[in-house]
A and B are shown apart, each in its own frame.
Chain A
């Protein structure tokens, strides 16, 4: 069984989003996604200040087995990336909702968060 925290939002492509106090949004991949991938050995992150559109492939996560794209869940701008992840990609397996965040973004439209999947909706997607 995979862990799906109640306080996060989700998209079908298995990214999670967390609304921070300053209004920015942190993005990573779900526990379900890391289980499907297996041992993660490589991560490539977007560049800070990149303007992204919804569904753009902006990062890569690779396990021993396969490569998988990470998509921008909503339109906006990348304001921070988790550079520590590049040297410790195994964190994606160990702590997908914590240390293994991928990037932080400023949304073009803050209301877009309301359109995303709840934990229950996402759990149904994973069945």
Chain B
């Protein structure tokens, strides 16, 4: 039996088409994925992301532990609530998961993927040896992502009109990539869409009221389908598609998340990653825009004439660009064009730097 979030009933009422996602019964769309996608680019949409796993990390060694566990360096987090994106790597330098980590008052809060929950927790538990840290999962918190150009103003309006002016103020003063607690909630200016917006953790019993208030203020419920097209346009990786345990961050467009300095910090996978970087010949993750007809999909072959072959890691139709776009892992020497084998035919594609879309605008052409 699939697990249900605290909003299961609300999804059905909003016309959600429910599918199994990592053992959870989640809405793929509420009628039209494209309409939901456009609402987020143009106004605001809300996603139930309560299936994601929240883990709090406390104890006197929390920082040292995370400096070993993560390729990015939590020492960069200097002000309360500041957040960091990082890969959690195995000893071979492969990506166990990607996550976001916030600096909190008594430690750190991480949000990891739902489909990888068991192996993440097992790994985090195993890595705890020798460190004074406590890992606390927070399943009692629901999570909503409210995303889009009008998302923050709408959330602030809801707080103001329900007597929570201090929360409205907090929301309006948050910096990008910062998350802060308030009255048992945790509100962060982060997201997975390429738009401004919030990710909000809410005690389960309060989430339905807030969901209804968002819908009453013309925020569009959006499903996992739109979440995927939005993140792909935004050039953001999907774990399991664009990287996994066998792929290093250098081959997944995550080079920027590796903190090489200070040189003496021994994070997991550092040695093999250093050798890979030194060799400088590993494949790279790029964006593709299909020039001919068809839709690119994951696992299709990419042919780069005179250079070699690559593979599509994520592909779809971009509602914003009205073209097929993809992320692909290709040989390092790939130039600005290639061909993709789409259903048995080679179709020309342009190679671009990610992202495709940011803040409602096409930025790759």
Contacts and interface: CB of A to CB of B under 8 A. Distances in A.
B32 A39 contact: yes
A126 interface: no
Nearest to A36: B17
Interface residue range, chain A: 10 to 19
B284 interface: no
A38 B225 contact: yes
A64 B33 contact: yes
B294 interface: yes
A52 interface: no
Interface string A43-69: 010000000000000001010111100
B343 A60 contact: yes
A67 B315 CA distance: 12
A32 interface: no
B69 to A, nearest CB: 34
Interface in B187-245: 225, 229
B33 A65 contact: yes
B68 interface: no
A62 B33 CA distance: 14
Contacts of A39: 32-34
* Chain B contact surface mostly: mixed
B41 interface: no
Contacts of B33: 38-39, 64-65
A62 B225 contact: no
Contacts, number: 36
A122 interface: no
Contacts of A62: 294-295, 317
Nearest to B319: A64
Contacts of A42: 293-295, 317, 324
Interface in B294-338: 294-295, 297, 316-317, 319, 324
Residue among A39, A44, A65 with max Cβ neighbours from chain B (10 Å): A39
Interface string B85-110: 00000000000000000000000000
A97 to B, nearest CB: 19
Contacts of A44: 293-294
A41 B317 contact: yes
A64 B293 contact: no
Interface in A62-105: 62, 64-67
Contacts of B51: none
Nearest to A66: B297
B29 interface: yes
Contacts of A65: 28, 33, 225
A65 B224 CA distance: 10
A95 to B, nearest CB: 15
30 contacts: A38-B28, A38-B32, A38-B33, A38-B225, A39-B33, A39-B34, A41-B34, A42-B293, A42-B294, A42-B295, A42-B317, A42-B324, A44-B293, A44-B294, A60-B343, A62-B294, A62-B295, A62-B317, A64-B33, A64-B225, A64-B229, A64-B316, A64-B317, A64-B319, A65-B28, A65-B33, A65-B225, A66-B297, A67-B297, A67-B343
Interface of B: 28-29, 32-34, 225, 229, 293-295, 297, 316-317, 319, 324, 343
Given A44-B293, A60-B343, 6 more contacts: A38-B33, A42-B295, A44-B294, A64-B225, A64-B229, A64-B316
Interface of A: 38-39, 41-42, 44, 60, 62, 64-67
Q: Nearest 4 A-B pairs (CB), nearest first?
A: A41-B317, A39-B34, A62-B295, A42-B295
